[in-house]
């Protein structure tokens, strides 16, 4: 049976009604469970996938490990050329991939296309980087000696990704890992297998065209079992994990037990502070975008809005007015701002969260309910609550915004820093003094510290990631590439003396 008309476009990116979910040494197979990829807007099956089994994993990783030895010998700019071709292949399929992303994850179409564009941008960034993996020369204190710092590939990099950015996070990691000379083994989220398959097919085609082993980019559809296999595998020196703090901590422990390296991108609980001198229109527009976008399922979603007491009522009133205009609906339809939550379980989690909020004294100012429909739609919600309520310290993965009142800058920073997570933060102010205090040692303790822009929308040129419960990892731009390589400090003696051994006789 073929696809219904609305899903026919999927064949353009290699998706069939039933798909094998393990890309093992250039062959698609799968001997694990059969799962359905489901459209969050109506909970109907889009296509089926046969997940990878442990056996598929073992076969795939073996080939990937062998392929890494070939890939790491290719000069870095040549690896960059392959990544450039991947970027070009993505450009030709941008609309289809963006549409699939929107269909399978549930984010609105412009966000789906934007996410694929981000991978294209990462390819461009990585191509430039492939000529700049520079080491350094360090003055030696010993005569006729030279010290060098060299960067070498790690081997195989494991990438485990979350459902909410099923292809951008792969791009942040894989583009850099590949130009650094590593093979990549990727496990996407179990609820977004079609994106995993479509992306892998596109990369495989480029590798094949260049007569390179396709096992350089190996991928598996599956859940915790495959994730654990990656975490335990001593053939994978670096595991880059994106997901919840709870699972991230387990992964870190497993990887640490074998002295592997971990790059963690975990949960966020991001605050946006509005000072009394702020441009209120700008702040309100930013909050709406940051709290409602991707149905509140971004790691950088604004979850806590901290408003100075002097302007509190006016900011909240304007926000309530803006929320009335949010169009909820099918993410593929023009004009929709708020699509569904990703799964039925996410919708149940939202309902549970609202109950907890109420039990801890939270007052619902708008929203607070699920929307009766076939899909996983919920209302955009604003809650007035005390910053000390326990529920405020947690990440509720949906469009729920807590509004909190503060008296002065010091108190606002204290509230900002009072949660276990440390991903993104933002302040709206016109005061230069406060801006520099905010980005300084006693300001925000987050990895992303913004001024007069929302908590989300990070650019790829900067290093992305957060502190504390967010895991401390940095991905994408700046010098994040160093995490995907091993550093060798090399001391070279080009004379005939061994200064440290002077005065000791070794005979002839």
Q: Which chain residues interact with ligand NAD by CB under 6 A?
A: 160-165, 169, 187, 189-190, 223-224, 227-228, 231, 242-244, 247, 250-251, 265-268, 299, 395, 397, 423, 466, 470
CB 332 within 8 A of CB 145: no
Query: Quick one: 20 or 245, whose CB is closer to ligand NAD?
Result: 245
Query: Quick one: 230 or 305, whose CB is closer to ligand NAD?
Result: 230
> At closest approach, how far in Å is the CB of 240 from ligand NAD?
10
The CA distance from 349 to 344, in Å, is: 9
* Token couple for 211: 């007569």
* Token couple for 330: 């099918």
> At closest approach, how far in Å is the CB of 325 from ligand NAD?
27
Query: Quick one: 199 or 212, whose CB is closer to ligand NAD?
Result: 199
CB 367 within 8 A of CB 353: no
The residues, any chain, with a CB within 8 Å of residue 166's CB and separated by 6 or more, are 101, 104, 105, 188, 189, 192, 195, 196
Query: Quick one: 21 or 329, whose CB is closer to ligand NAD?
Result: 21
Q: Out of 104, 115, 265, 475, pick the active-site residue.
A: 265
The residue whose two tokens read 């919840």 is 244
Give, rounded to a whole angstrom, the gap between the first and last alpha carbons of the chain. Answer: 83
> At closest approach, how far in Å is the CB of 264 from ligand NAD?
8
What is the gyration radius of the CA atoms in the chain, in angstroms?
A: 25
CB 21 within 8 A of CB 197: yes
Query: Quick one: 127 or 446, whose CB is closer to ligand NAD?
Result: 446
> At closest approach, how far in Å is the CB of 300 from ligand NAD?
8
Query: Quick one: 165 or 312, whose CB is closer to ligand NAD?
Result: 165
Strands 183-187 and 145-153: unpaired
CA 162 to chain centroid: 7
What's the residue count for the chain? 508
SS3 36: strand
> At closest approach, how far in Å is the CB of 166 from ligand NAD?
9
Query: Quick one: 162 or 463, whose CB is closer to ligand NAD?
Result: 162
* Token couple for 13: 């990116």
The residue whose two tokens read 């080009």 is 494
The CA distance from 201 to 214, in Å, is: 10
> At closest approach, how far in Å is the CB of 350 from ligand NAD?
13
> At closest approach, how far in Å is the CB of 495 from ligand NAD?
49
User: Which residue, judged by CB position, is nearest to ligand NAD in the bound state?
Assistant: 227
Query: Quick one: 100 or 169, whose CB is closer to ligand NAD?
Result: 169
Geometric angle at alpha carbon 269, from 268 and 271, rounded to 5°: 125
Please say if 265 is a catalytic residue. yes
* Token couple for 479: 């010098």
Q: Which helix (H) or strand (E) holds 272?
A: strand 270-274
Please say if 123 is a catalytic residue. no
> At closest approach, how far in Å is the CB of 52 from ligand NAD?
12
CA 261 to chain centroid: 18
* Token couple for 478: 């700046």
Pick from 44, 53, 55, 45: which is nearest to 17 by CA? 45
22 secondary structure, DSSP code: E
Q: Out of 123, 221, 299, 302, pick the active-site residue.
A: 299
Backbone angles phi, psi at 116, to 5 degrees: -65, -40
Name the residues annotated as catalytic.
265, 299
């Amino acid at each position: 049976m073929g696809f219904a008309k609305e899903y026919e476009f999927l064949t353009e990116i290699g998706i069939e009604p039933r798909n094998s979910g393990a890309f093992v040494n250039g062959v698609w197979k799968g001997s694990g469970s059969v799962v359905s990829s489901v459209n969050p807007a109506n909970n109907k099956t889009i296509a089926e996938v046969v997940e990878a089994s442990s056996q598929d994993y073992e076969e795939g990783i073996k080939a990937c490990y062998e392929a890494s030895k070939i890939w790491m010998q290719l000069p870095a700019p040549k690896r960059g050329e392959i990544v450039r071709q991947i970027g070009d292949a993505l450009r030709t399929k941008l609309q289809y991939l963006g549409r699939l992303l929107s269909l399978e994850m549930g984010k609105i179409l412009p966000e789906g296309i934007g996410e694929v564009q981000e991978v294209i941008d990462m390819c461009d960034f990585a191509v430039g980087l492939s000529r700049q993996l520079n080491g350094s020369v360090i003055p030696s204190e010993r005569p006729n000696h030279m010290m060098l710092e060299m960067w070498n590939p790690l081997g195989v990099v494991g990438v485990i990704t979350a459902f909410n950015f099923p292809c951008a996070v792969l791009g942040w990691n894989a583009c850099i890992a590949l130009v650094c000379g590593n093979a990549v083994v990727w496990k996407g989220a179990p609820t977004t297998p079609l994106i995993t398959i479509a992306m892998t097919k596109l990369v495989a085609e480029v590798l094949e065209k260049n007569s390179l082993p396709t096992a350089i980019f190996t991928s598996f559809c599956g859940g915790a079992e495959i994730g654990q296999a990656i975490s335990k595998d001593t053939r994978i020196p670096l595991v880059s994990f994106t997901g919840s703090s709870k699972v991230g901590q387990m992964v870190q422990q497993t990887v640490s037990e074998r002295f592997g390296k971990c790059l963690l991108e975990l949960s966020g609980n991001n605050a946006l502070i509005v000072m009394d001198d702020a441009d209120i229109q700008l702040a309100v527009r930013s909050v709406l975008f940051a709290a409602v976008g991707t149905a509140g399922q971004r790691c950088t979603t604004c979850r806590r809005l901290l408003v100075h007491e002097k302007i509190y009522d006016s900011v909240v009133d304007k926000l309530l007015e803006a929320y009335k205009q949010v169009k909820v609906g099918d993410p593929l339809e023009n004009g929709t701002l708020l699509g569904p939550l990703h799964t039925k379980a996410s919708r149940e989690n939202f309902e549970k969260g609202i109950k907890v909020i109420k039990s801890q004294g939270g007052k619902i100012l708008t929203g607070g309910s699920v929307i009766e429909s076939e899909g996983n739609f919920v209302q955009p919600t604003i809650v007035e609550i005390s910053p000390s309520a326990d529920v405020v310290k947690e990440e509720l993965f949906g469009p729920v915004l807590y509004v909190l009142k503060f008296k002065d800058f010091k108190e606002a920073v204290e509230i900002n820093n009072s949660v276990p997570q440390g991903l993104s933060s933002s302040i709206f102010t016109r005061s230069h003094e406060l801006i520099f205090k905010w980005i300084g040692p006693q300001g925000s303790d987050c990895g992303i510290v913004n001024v007069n822009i929302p908590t989300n929308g990070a650019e790829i040129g900067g290093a992305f990631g957060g502190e504390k419960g967010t895991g401390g990892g940095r991905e994408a731009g700046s010098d994040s590439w160093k995490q995907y390589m091993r550093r060798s400090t090399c001391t070279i003696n080009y004379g005939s003396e061994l200064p440290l051994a002077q005065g000791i006789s070794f005979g002839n």
